[in-house]
Chains A and B, each alone.
Chain A
Amino acid sequence: MAVFPSTAAAQARNKPRRPRSQRAAYLFIAPIAIGFAVFYIWPLLQTFYFSFTSFGVFGGNSWIGGENYERVLQDVTVGRALLNTLLYTVMGLITLPVSIIIAELLNRPGLRGVAIYRALYFLPFVTLPAAIGLLWNWLYNGDYGLINEVLSWIGIDGRYWVSDPTTAAYAIGLVMIWSHVGYYLIIFLAGIKAIPRDYYEAAELDGAGPVRRFVRITLPLLSPSIFFTSVISVITSLQAFDLIYIMMSQRNPALGSTQSIVTLFYKWAFEENAQGPAAALAFLLMLLIAALTFLQFRLQKRWVHYA
C-alpha cells in the first residue's frame, strides 16, 4: 500500500517536535554523560555483580551468593581498617577550621602578597601524592629525618614516626591535612570575599571586636561553603589511599594501625587474588559514603544559612 507523501508529511508535523535548543543541550551533555556511564555506572554495576562471585584468578567467575559479604563482616582487619578510616575522616575534618583561620588571616585588609601566600598554600594540593609521600617519609625518618633533628635541638628524643604503631596514623593524617589545606583555603577565601562589608561595618559601630565579628558574621555566612567542604572532605577521607600506599612499606609494623578500607581493598583485589570479597568491600564502602553524605544533607538545615 502506497503511502502518500502528503500524509507522511502531515504525520510528521503532528508529532510533538522537541525544540532545537533542547536537542543541542543533549549533545552538550553527551560527552560527560557517556563518560560517566562508561567509567562510573558500568564499573559500579560490574563491581556489584562481582561481589556475588568467586573471581577466577586466571579468568572465569562463579556465582556464590552472599559469601563474600559474610567474609567481609567476619574479617578482623576490616573492622580495624574502618576505625583507621574514621580516624582519617576526623583528621580530615580538622582541615576545615585550619583552612578557615588561614583564610581569615589572609583576608585582613592591607595584607601584602596575598597571591603569593595563596599559591604557596595551594601548591601541595596540586603536587603528586607520590612525591608528597616520599618527601614526608624522609622528614619523618627515624634515623636521619629533619623532624627528629629539630626535636633533638630542643632536647626531645625523636621516634620512628611512620613505623611506630602509636604514631603512624596521626603522622599520615597530618600530611593529609597539610596537602588539603590549600584547596579548602581557596573556597573559604572566595566565601569570605562574598560577605558584604556593610555587616562588618555595622557590627563595628555596635562595638563588636574582631573575634566576635568572626564568630557572629563570618562563620554563619560562610556556612554554605563549610557545608560543601565538609561533604567533600568526608568523601575524600573515606577513600584515603594514595598517601598510605606510598608511605607504608610492605614490612612496616604499623601496617595494621594505618590501613584504610581502600588500601585493604587494593591488597585483596590486586595482591591476594580475592577480587570477590574486595568487590563486596568496595560496595559496602560506597553505601557507607552514601549514608554519611545523606546524613550531612539532612543535618544541614540545622546549621547552614543561605543568605
Chain B
Amino acid sequence: MENRVDIKERMNAIEPSAVWSEAGDGMFKVPVSAFRGLAERLRNKEGFDFLRSLTGMDWGEEGLGCVYHLENTSTGENIVLSTADTDRENASLPSVHDLWKGANINEREAYDFFGIKFIGHPDLRRFFLRDDWKGYPLRKDYDPSLNPLNMENEGNEDEAPSYEMTPDGSYILKRHPLFEDQEYVINIGPQHPATHGVLRFRVSLEGETIKKLDVHSGYIHRGIEKLCETLNYPQTLGFTDRLDYLGAMQNRHALCACIEKAMGLEVSERILYIRTIMDELQRIDSHLLFIACLCQDMGALTVFFFGFRDREKILDILEQTTGGRLIQTYNTIGGVQADIHPEFVRKVKDFIKYMRPKLNEYNEIFTGNVIAQQRLKGTGVLSREDAISFGATGGTGRASGWACDVRKRHPYAMYGKVDFKEITYTEGDCFARYMVRLKEIEQSLNIIEQLIDNIPEGEYQMKVKPVIKLPEGSWYTAVEGSRGEFGVFIESHGDKSPYRMKFRSTGLPLVSCIDTISRNAKIADLIAIGGTLDYVVPDIDR
C-alpha cells in the first residue's frame, strides 16, 4: 500500500507558497516565514497529529533546515515538509514543540548537530554532546580537531536557554532555571543498573516522589549518521546492527529496503519470506529480553534467567544461518548474506513448539503475581493523545490504544499477506505495556508459523552492482522494529555515499515522554516505567 498523497492536490489551497519537489519520495519545500502557520494548520485542521521524523539538514548554500515527516493517524495520510534558513551563522526556525510534543527533543537534537536555533523552544540545551562542545558536528564544514578528548568532569547546566521572538522580528536569549536551589536532585545514571545502558536522569525528589525529571543523553553517541556520510552504501549497513542491537535484523532490513526503494530494485519472494521470518525471530528475542530485564529491575531475578534461557534458543537458530549471535549482519542490499541453513525450518518449528508452553511459565511466575500487578497497574499512564504527540510507537503506543504498528499501517515484506492481530490495550500503564509485548510474542510465533512451511524457491541475493549510486532525491522507509517505528531517511545527491542519512530512533520518543509520565510517581516506579518503555540507549544516541 503506497502512502496516500492526495494532500498534494489540496496543498495548493492550504499554503500556496509550498513548492512540490518530485525527487525521491517527494516533499513540499516551504519558506521559513510560512512554515509555522502551515504547521499549525496541518496539525489542527488537517489532523496531522503524528510527527514521524524530524531531520536536521545541512544543504550547504541553501542553508540549514529540517525535514518533517508527518502522518495523519486517522486517515493514514502522509506528508513531507522541508524548510531551510539560508543564514548559516544564525540559522533559526520556528519551533513546533507545542504542536507535536515529540518535536521537543528532536529539535534539541537538530540544534545540537546543526546549530539551528528554534525560536520559542523552551529548553534549547545540547542533548547529545557536552555543553562545552565547540561547533556543530553534522554540518558539512565541521572541523573535528576543535574537540579533542576532554577528561574534565562535565558540569551540570542548571539553566535552560530559550530563544524568544521580540515584536520587531529579532529574537533574544532567555534562561530559565531547571531546578530550584532547594530541590533535592539525585542523579540516576549514566552508570546505573536500571537505565539499560548509559542514560542519565536528573530527578528532583520530594521524599520518594518524583517532581521533575531531566533526561541527559549522548553517553553512547557515536556519530553514526556523520560516519555514514563518508562511507558508500553497502558499508553503511554495518552500523544499523549496532544501533538497536536487539532489533539488528529489523534495522538493517529498513536500511536495505530504503536503498532498494531508491534503486528501484524488486527483491525475490524468497528474500521477503526470509526477512520477515528473521524480523519476527528478532522481535521474539527482543521481547524476551524485555521481560527478563523488566523483571530483573523489579527484583524478580529468576525470571531474568528464564528469559535468557529461552532467548538462547533463538540465538542458536540465528547463529546457524547468519553466523552471529547478537549482531548478525545478515541483510544486504538486494537480498541476504547467505541462504538459510538446511536445518533452519525444522529448528524454527521446534522452537515454536517449545516456546508456546513456556509463555505460560512467565504468566505463572510474573504476570499473575500480586506484587507485580500492584506495581505495574496504574503506574506511568501514557494517554493515547500523548503517545501520538510524542510519537511513542511500538508496544508503548499500542498499550495506550494507538494502533501504530508499521506492519499494518504501511505493510512491507510479507506482512500484508500474513494474518496476525495487532495487540492494543487502552490502559496505557506499565502493565499494558508489559502485556502487549507478552502477547506479541504469540503473534510473532503465528506469523512465523504461517510462513515457515511456504518459503518459495528463488534467489537469496539479487544481482547488484558492487558500487551503488542512488539517484538524487530523498527517501524514507520505516519498519516495525522491536520497540517501535524504525525509519531510515536518506538524502542522496547522486554520489555513491549518502548526502545525509538519518535513523528515526525508536527509543528517542519513548525517552522524551518519560518526564510526563513519571511525574508524581515513586522512584521505584521510574524503574518500572523505564523498564516497560523498553528503550535501548545506543539506539537513542546513534
Is B truly associated with A?
no
Chain B residues with CB under 8 Å of chain A are: none
